[in-house]
Amino acid sequence: MNIIITRPLIDSEDLMGKLLSLGHKIIHVPTLKISKAELDPIDSEKYNAFIFTSANAIRSLKLLKPDRNKLCFCVGAITEKIVRQQGYNNTISAGGSINALKNIIVNSGDLDKKKVLAYICGDNITSDLDLELKKEGFQIDKIINYTSEKIKELNAETNNLINNHPPDIIFIYSKRSAESFDELMKKYSLKGLMTESRVMCISDKVLNVLKQSGWKKLEIFEAGEELTKLKK
């Protein structure tokens, strides 16, 4: 199969290696440029726990006094893996769902609502997790520690690869990434090559963005299901 992966390389290397080993052709089309925000180090002692909905948030984390035992709520397995690679051992994963993450936090017996939680995230997020948790009585500091910018150009090599090997399947991992990918394919007149491509969407919001733009073969998947989706 010809497969387009849209995540940044740092998040895609393991998956791309597995796909290549199975004989698939990979076209890497990163759609977002991630940059660390200019912030003073966070005083972790102020917070009862950290909340992460992106691996980029943990990679961009700067702390005054790192506490590796700090409770970390993670949206999914990939984010939890990165958190653990940074040395944190007290982690809880919600399996990839923001709503499940909210419910886990709300029902956690380890949290004192009088103490503040740090929700560490990027500048473009599709959920109001902090507001939802405040409605449940929690005190939340929303800390934006990275920014994402749409990539607006394709290099000639990638353009040629798509023209010569139209994708059988495309994986999209965020609403903003979906918008960026759609804009790129239109700009370089590549969208017409993808009418038969299966487009894997990480959420309903991603699917709706692409549906409204005319993409047809849309399916929902969860991170970690990529290899399974190839068999269908």
| pTM listed for this prediction | 0.85
- Per-residue pLDDT band for 182 (boundaries 50, 70, 90) equals very high
Residues 58, 86: contact at Cβ < 8 Å? Answer: yes
* pLDDT higher than threshold 80 for residue 197: yes
Task: Determine the pLDDT at residue 232.
Answer: 64
Give the separation between CA 59 and CA 54, rounded to whole angstroms.
Answer: 9
Task: Determine the pLDDT at residue 230.
Answer: 86
- Per-residue pLDDT band for 50 (boundaries 50, 70, 90) equals very high
* pLDDT higher than threshold 90 for residue 4: yes
Give the separation between CA 60 and CA 169, rounded to whole angstroms.
Answer: 31
Q: Among all chains, which residue has been given the structure tokens 């059988």?
A: 168
Task: Determine the pLDDT at residue 140.
Answer: 96
* pLDDT higher than threshold 90 for residue 36: yes
Instruction: Sketch out the chain's domains with CATH numbers.
Output: 2-31+151-230 (3.40.50.10090), 35-148 (3.40.50.10090)
Handedness of CA 75, 76, 82, 83 (dihedral sign): positive
Task: Determine the pLDDT at residue 59.
Answer: 93
Task: Determine the pLDDT at residue 95.
Answer: 82
User: Mean pLDDT in the chain?
Assistant: 93
Q: Is 113 left (phi over 0), alpha (psi -120 to 50) or beta?
A: alpha
Nearest 5°: the CA angle 53, 54, 57 is 105
- Per-residue pLDDT band for 78 (boundaries 50, 70, 90) equals confident
Handedness of CA 150, 155, 159, 164 (dihedral sign): negative
- 103-154 pLDDT tens trace: 999 998 878 888 899 999 999 887 889 999 999 999 999 999 999 999 999 9
Higher-confidence position of 123 and 225 = 123
In a 3-state reduction of DSSP, which class is residue 4?
strand
